[in-house]
Amino acid sequence: MKDNLLLIMPTITNNYIFKYKEQLNKLSCNCPDLKLFKPVNRISYRFSKADLAHQNNHVPPILIRNAPNNASCQIICSNYALSFFSTVEQAEQRFLSILAKVPMFKNSVGEFITECRIVESDGVACQPGRDGHFELHEFENTSFANRYTIVKQIPINI
> 28-67: per-residue pLDDT in tens?
999 999 999 999 999 999 999 999 999 999 999 999 987 7
d(CA 48, CA 146): 13
The secondary element (H helix, E strand) that includes residue 105 is helix 105-109
Res 120 pLDDT > 50: yes
What is the predicted pLDDT for the residue at 13? 44
What is the predicted pLDDT for the residue at 5? 39
Are 45 and 89 a contacting pair, CB within 8 Å?
no
Q: How many CB atoms lie within 10 A of CB 152?
A: 16
Instruction: Give the residues across from 25 on adjacent strands.
Output: none
Task: Render the burial of 37-67: b for 16+ CB within 10 Å, e for the rest.
Answer: bebbeeebbbbbbeebeeebbbbbbbeeeee
Are 124 and 137 a contacting pair, CB within 8 Å?
yes
Q: In the chain, where are the structural domains located?
A: 17-153
Indicate the pTM of the whole model: 0.87
Instruction: Give the residues across from 134 on adjacent strands.
Output: 84
One-letter amino acid for residue 156 of the chain: I
Provide the residue count of the chain. Answer: 158
What is the predicted pLDDT for the residue at 47? 96
The dihedral region occupied by 152, where left means phi > 0, alpha psi between -120 and 50, and beta the remainder, is beta
List Cα–Cα distances, 25 to 30, 78, 114, in angstroms. 9, 14, 31
